[in-house]
Structure 1
Amino acid sequence: MPYPEEFTGIGVTSIDKWDSPERVTYEAKKFDPHDIDIQIDVCGVCGSDLHTVQGHWRAIRESMVVGHEIIGTVVKIGSECNSDLKIGDRVGVGAQVLSCLSCELCQEGNEPYCAEFVSCYNRPYKDGYVSQGGYASHVRVHEHFVVPIPENIESELAAPLLCGGVTVYSPLKRNGCGPGKNIGIVGIGGLGHMAILFAKAMGAEVWAFSRKSNKRNDSLKLGADHYIATSEVNDWEQSLIHKLDIVLVCASSLEHIDLDKYIKCMKIGGKIISVCVPHRDEKLTLSGFGLMGVHISNSSLGSPQEIRDLLKLVSDNDIKIWVETLPVGVKGVTEALTRLDKGDVRYRFSLIDYDKEFPRE
């Protein structure tokens, strides 16, 4: 059955075969009047993709196609769309594809916190259809969650901004990152390396924290002003007592994060914000003493407007995140997932060559 009734993608058939993806064909979501169809050109590979196919958060649908950092071309526009997008425009889609759009949260630009949140993949719509993601030929999305991509950002560099990038940008922006602020970034990987770039572009002084010294040179090249290897320096927190305004925890796990030490580094009113979404069984541990005057929270995705704001920041400052590219397809997706599982990437993957795997009509 030809497009648009069916799409083709690279999917995982079960969590015990997460590292053996297959080419799959599946029914597309019903086309609604506010929907936009996008022919995909590039898709970033996010840690959430790995957590999903490994079953860390919830069960997955049959033939699960992940990927929620999508760059592509508009090929169909619903009859009631109000956006300025046109056929042929280059656009992006992040990790959210629907919310109610009418509640107080949505009206305030907090769509990711809406009770009717639908993620790009593995979440049901009201009609029961379970969303499918961007390791595929096409994606069908409500117009509200489709954003234009600035001309001067290459597609493979733009893709990871749409989930990972905005996930770290949102708490930095919302909590006052800017000139005169001292910002700590914990965990220098796919998220953390972008957080360093953005915090510096926003005017802050940046401390990079990692367990070992092996990411010192990368962190300084990215723009960090200071680097601390927490497992190699005894009592490292003593030099930072009441120094930091914000600590953003970007590590993939909280198991090795000694939050009690970071609490000592915070100014009164300072904020420790985690964007880590670990295995569902992982617990956060910290002492109740010393918390006076310090806020600890986590942050969800960024909103569509925050994605637009981030793209402008990146465009205006010519920020280049660090990306490796792999061709989409069974081989490329297998390599991306297995290397991501080993932490073998500097610092994000983008899948490319969609026109070769999914020939254009």
Structure 2
Amino acid sequence: MLQYPEKIDAIGVVDSDWKHPKRVAFEPRTFGPKDIDIKIECCGVCGSDIHAAAGNWGDLPKPVVVGHEIIGTVVRKGSECTSEFEIGQRVGVGAQCYSCLKCHRCLNNNESYCDKCVTTYGQFFDDGYCSKGGYASHIRVNEHFVIPIPENIPSEYAGPLLCGGNTVFSPLLRNGCGPGKKVGILGIGGIGHMGLMFAKALGAEVYAISRTSKKKEDVFKLGADHFIATKEEPDWAEKYYDTLDLVIVCAGSLKDVDFDSLPRIMQVGGRIVSISVPEQSEKIVLKPFGLLGVLIANSHLGSIEEIKQLLKLVSEKNLRIWIEKYPINEANVNEVFERMEKGDVRYRYVFTDYDKEFN
């Protein structure tokens, strides 16, 4: 067994100046018989990290340690673990670290919809402990939420698949994305760019939908078959009338999404599914009659089984998402937070070099 520290070193938000997190140390949750301890190697940066750090989803106990696209190695297993993870094995942790595992939802691969769901950071266990994430040296997780990583996916490319990637893959999978389907990805950012790649890999005809043509060249490199710039094509809703089977809304905010025009490009029975979790105060506005024949919904995190299916797809298709790496330290977390707030990313940041920062 490798050594596990009594306190976990991390970089976390300690006060209202959330863009300047500091080195901190915190006590881990009490080790349980089905827990696995992981020494972290790298962690992707999700838009959720910014919302949580900035307090957009409410005030959390300090320090706030975010990060839920985690790759690391197993260093300890609980006495009742039944999984076949070995000490030293490379594994991942996504955006969820606990659920009851007994209810109807859990037993049907819908763990993230469980009433007992605890996200990897910023939520409370029954004992009052507030979960802390992957901008840290180690993490302790129930074995069910630990995921083996295929050998041919490098760690820095695997991390973002575990939250952002799975968040868009789940509604694609659950809503029939595949050969013969016309699928739109609205919002070409960290999650949207992965959505384009996955929809194409699943066999769909893919439409990238963005406000401007700024990312037009990128989307075709990512596999899109068509491009719609809604701010530059005044007649886009008429031009693409009755076209799409499915649209996944990947925009970080829904304020600029035209929910009156968007349903017009859907076929009867078409589905608009949002994965956006914006600020708590945000609301969408739409005309109900515009939804005739069209379904609109919101999707949460995908299941552990869906993460495994996604990793299998990425491994078999040898897909590589677009990332930019930063060695983790206070200055770089500050820079990434500032760039994320400005939308200055193509298309996913990943923190690396954990051994150098946390020794």
Compute the TM-score of the two structures, normalised by the length of structure 1.
Answer: 0.98
Give SS of 2:261's match: helix
| % identical equivalent positions | 57
Distance 2:144 2:5 in 1: 20
AA aligned to 1:153 is I
In the other structure, the counterpart of 1:203 is: 203
In the other structure, the counterpart of 1:13 is: 14
In the other structure, the counterpart of 1:274 is: 274
String of CA shifts for 1:140-175, please: whole Å, max 9, x gaps: 000000000000001110000000000000000000
Deviation of 1:3 after TM superposition, in Å, equals: 3.7
String of CA shifts for 1:204-248, please: whole Å, max 9, x gaps: 000001111110000000000000111011111112111100010
Deviation of 1:45 after TM superposition, in Å, equals: 0.4
In the other structure, the counterpart of 2:178 is: 178
Give SS of 1:289's match: helix
Distance 1:166 1:318 in 2: 17
AA aligned to 1:269 is G
Deviation of 1:290 after TM superposition, in Å, equals: 2.5
After TM superposition, the structure 1 = structure 2 runs for residues 71-82 of structure 1, keeping only pairs within 5 Å, are 71-82=71-82
After TM superposition, the structure 1 = structure 2 runs for residues 41-190 of structure 1, keeping only pairs within 5 Å, are 41-190=41-190
In the other structure, the counterpart of 1:298 is: 298
String of CA shifts for 1:34-84, please: whole Å, max 9, x gaps: 000000000000000000011111111111110000000000010000101
Distance 1:331 1:86 in 2: 35
Q: Which runs of 5+ in 1 are unaligned?
A: none
AA aligned to 1:5 is E
Deviation of 1:260 after TM superposition, in Å, equals: 1.4
Distance 2:351 2:325 in 1: 6
CA contact (8 A) 1:4 1:28 kept: no
Give SS of 1:270's match: strand
String of CA shifts for 1:15-51, please: whole Å, max 9, x gaps: x211111000000100000000000000000000000
String of CA shifts for 1:74-104, please: whole Å, max 9, x gaps: 0001000010100010000000000000000
In the other structure, the counterpart of 1:27 is: 27
Distance 2:286 2:188 in 1: 22
How many residue pairs get matched?
357
CA contact (8 A) 2:4 2:75 kept: no
Which shows bigger deviation, 27-36 or 236-245? 236-245
AA aligned to 1:192 is G
Matched, 1:220 2:220: yes
Distance 2:137 2:288 in 1: 50
Give SS of 1:92's match: strand
Matched, 1:239 2:218: no
Give SS of 1:263's match: helix
Deviation of 1:287 after TM superposition, in Å, equals: 0.6
Deviation of 1:329 after TM superposition, in Å, equals: 1.1
Distance 1:234 1:134 in 2: 43
CA contact (8 A) 1:8 1:23 kept: yes
Q: Give the 4+ runs in structure 1 shifted more than 2 A.
A: 2-5
String of CA shifts for 1:102-132, please: whole Å, max 9, x gaps: 0000000000000000010111111111111
CA contact (8 A) 1:172 1:199 kept: yes
Give SS of 2:139's match: strand
Deviation of 1:325 after TM superposition, in Å, equals: 0.3
Distance 1:61 1:155 in 2: 30
In the other structure, the counterpart of 1:250 is: 250
Give SS of 1:170's match: helix
CA contact (8 A) 2:41 2:72 kept: yes
Compute the TM-score of the two structures, normalised by the length of structure 2.
Answer: 0.98
Root-mean-square deviation (Å) = 0.8
